[in-house]
A and B are shown apart, each in its own frame.
Chain A
C-alpha cells in the first residue's frame, strides 16, 4: 500500500513540474519560429493577392500584435484544443497530428522492444564472455555498432533486404490493394480488432526493416550499460554469499545479478525511448512511413509554422510522459527507493 502512495506522490510531483517545462518549451518554440523570415499571412493567400489584402490578413491573424500577446492568444487557443490550421495542407493541425502520431508510436514501441531484446541478450553475452579473448572482440564490435546511427542502418537494411534480395517491402505501411481499417488509428491494433489477419501481417512485414534499424542502432549502448552494471553487481558480497549457498551460476545471474543490474539499464532505456521518438524521424523518411517525422519534415520544407509548433510540442509531451512512466517503473522495481 505504501508503495502506491509513494508512486502516486511521485506522479503528482512529476506532472506538476512538467507543466512549467511545457509552458517554457512552448514559449521557446513560439519565439524561435517567429524570427523566421516568412510571412504566414502572405503564404495563406493566393500569389496574386494585393499588399492591402496581405495587410488585412496579417491583422486578422494577429501578426501585427506584440509577440507576447500573440503567444497569449496561441496559448489560450491551445488550452481549447486548437493549435491552428496548416497553411500548406489546409487542415487542422490536431487532426494531422492525430492521424500520424499513432503510426510513430507503433514504430517506436516495437523498435524499443527489438532494442530491449538485442540489448539484454548482447549485454548478457558480453558479461558471459568476460575475461576471455572473445570479450575484446565483442567489445570492439560494440563500438563498431555504436558508430552506425539508425538512419545508416535503415539505408543499409533497405539496400540488403529491399533492393538486393527483394524479400521485404520498404515503402509505406501497406502494400497496394490492402484496405486500411480505421478504429483507433493504430494500424496494427485496428487490423487485429477487425479480424483482418492478412492486413495485420502485411503491416507487420512493412515494419520489420524500420524497427530492426531503430532497434539495432539503440542496442549497443544498452549492452554496454548492462554489462558494466553486471560487473558492478558481481563485486558485491551477496554474489559470493549466493555462491557459498551453492546456487547455480545461472540462478545467481538471473535472480541476483540481473535483478540488481537491470536498474541502470532501465533508466538508460527511458532516456533512449524519449530520443527514439525523434530518431524515428529519419527512419520514417527513408521508409516513406506516414508518421509524425514525415509530417514534420514536410512542414519544415513548406515553412508550415502551425504544424512545426504543434508537432514540436507533441514530441516534447511524448518525452515528458515517457520519462514519468520510466521513473514510476524505476520506483516499482527498486526497493531501495521505496523506503523514505
Chain B
C-alpha cells in the first residue's frame, strides 16, 4: 500500500475531515437520523427541556422550540442547508474569483487594473451589509443565498490568488511554455494553475466556514431560506425569544454552527501548513 500523502497525515486535516464527514452523514441521512419531522408542530408540548433535565420527554431528546418542533430533528435537517450552502457557495466563489485572479495576474496591464478596481469597489462594502442588500434584491430561497454569498465572497479568492499568480508568472517554466507556443489558456491551466492549486484549496476550505456563518446570519434575520426549511440561524432567532425559559434551545444551534465552522477552519489550517511550499519545515510541524 502506498503511504498516506503528507497532507492526510496532519492531525488538523484529519480532525477537519472527521467533523465534515459527521456533518455530511447528518445532512445526507437526515430523514433516517432525525427522530421527528423537523416541521411538525406539537403545540401541546412546547419548550420541553432536553431529556436529561427535569420534565424532559424521550420523544424529543434535545427538547422542543416555541412551536413544539423537535430541536434535534431541526438541528440535523439544518445541516443540510449549512452544508449545501458551504459547498456550492465556496465552489461558485472559487470559480469566479480564481478566473479573474488568473486573468488579472497573467495578463496584467489594463485588465489587471480593471479587475483591481472592481475588487476595490466590492471591498468598500462590509460583507454582511452587501449580502443582506443582495438578498433583498434577489428574494429569499436556498439558491439565492448561495448566489448572494458567491457574489460577495469571490473577491476573497481574487485578491489573494492574484498576487500568487503574479509570482508564478515570472517563473522560467512559464516563459518556456510561452516560447514553445502554448496558448494563453493552456499556459494558465497547465503551468500556473497547478502552482496556485494548494492555495486555492486552502482558501476554499476557509470559505466554507465563512459561508456557514453568513448563511446563519442571513437566516437569523429571516433573509435566507424560507421558514418551512429548518436552518440553524432560524433556530437561534426562535430561541432568543424564549431565552429564559429554554436557554438550551439557543446553545444547541450555536454549538452546531461552531462545530461546522471549526471543522472547515481546522481543515483549512492543516492544508495550509502541509500544502504551502513556502512554509518552513519547522512551521509545518
Contact = CB atoms under 8 A, between A and B. Distances in A.
Contacts of B132: 281, 296-297, 300
Contacts of A32: 133-134, 136-137
Contact of A278 (B126, B222, B247, B269): B126
A21 B250 contact: no
Interface in B243-270: 243-244, 247, 250-251, 254, 257-258, 261-262, 265-266, 269
Interface in A219-271: none
Contact of B126 (A146, A148, A300, A315): A315
B128 A281 contact: yes
A286 B237 CA distance: 9
A181 interface: no
B266 A143 contact: yes
A33 B136 contact: yes
Interface centre among B120, B136, B258, B262 (most CB of A within 10 A): B136
Contacts of B261: 147-149
A163 B262 contact: no
Contacts of A278: 125-130
A151 B217 contact: yes
Given A148-B258, A159-B243, A319 B125 contact: yes
Nearest to A28: B121
Given A159-B251, A163-B243, A301-B222, A25 B133 contact: no
A24 interface: yes
A320 B247 contact: no
A283 to B, nearest CB: 11
Interface centre among B133, B220, B247 (most CB of A within 10 A): B133
Interface string A136-163: 0000000110111101100110110001
Contacts of B258: 147-148, 152
B9 interface: no
A90 B253 CA distance: 37
Contact of A25 (B121, B137, B209, B221): B121
A312 B220 contact: no
A279 B217 CA distance: 10
B121 A275 contact: no
A300 B124 contact: no
Contacts, number: 111
Interface string A63-97: 00000000000000000000000000000000000
A275 B127 CA distance: 7
A319 B123 CA distance: 8
Contacts of A323: 124
B126 A274 contact: yes
A308 B132 CA distance: 10
A289 interface: no
A152 B254 CA distance: 6
Interface centre among B132, B134, B247 (most CB of A within 10 A): B132
A300 B125 contact: no
A155 B266 CA distance: 23
A315 B127 CA distance: 11
Nearest to A17: B120
A164 B247 CA distance: 9
Contacts of A35: 137
Contacts of A275: 126-128
B236 A155 contact: yes
Contacts of A303: 136
Contact of A143 (B240, B247, B265): B265
A329 interface: no
Nearest to A159: B247
B223 interface: yes
B98 interface: no
A315 B129 contact: yes
B213 interface: yes
Nearest to B209: A147
A174 B72 CA distance: 37
A277 interface: yes
Interface in A9-42: 21-22, 24-25, 28-29, 32-33, 35-37
Interface in A111-158: 143-144, 146-149, 151-152, 155-156, 158
Contacts of A158: 243
B126 A277 contact: yes
A272 to B, nearest CB: 10
B137 A279 contact: no
A149 B223 contact: no
Nearest to A320: B124
Nearest to A32: B137
Given A147-B258, A148-B258, A159-B251, 20 more contacts: A21-B124, A25-B125, A33-B137, A151-B217, A151-B220, A155-B254, A158-B243, A163-B244, A278-B126, A278-B128, A278-B130, A281-B128, A282-B128, A282-B217, A282-B220, A282-B221, A296-B129, A300-B132, A308-B136, A312-B125
9 contacts: A21-B124, A35-B137, A147-B262, A148-B261, A278-B128, A281-B129, A282-B220, A285-B221, A315-B129
Q: Which 8 A-B pairs have the closest CB atoms?
A: A278-B126, A147-B262, A278-B128, A32-B137, A147-B261, A278-B129, A149-B213, A147-B265
Interface of A: 21-22, 24-25, 28-29, 32-33, 35-37, 143-144, 146-149, 151-152, 155-156, 158-159, 163-164, 274-279, 281-282, 285-286, 296-297, 300-301, 303, 308, 312, 315-316, 319-320, 323
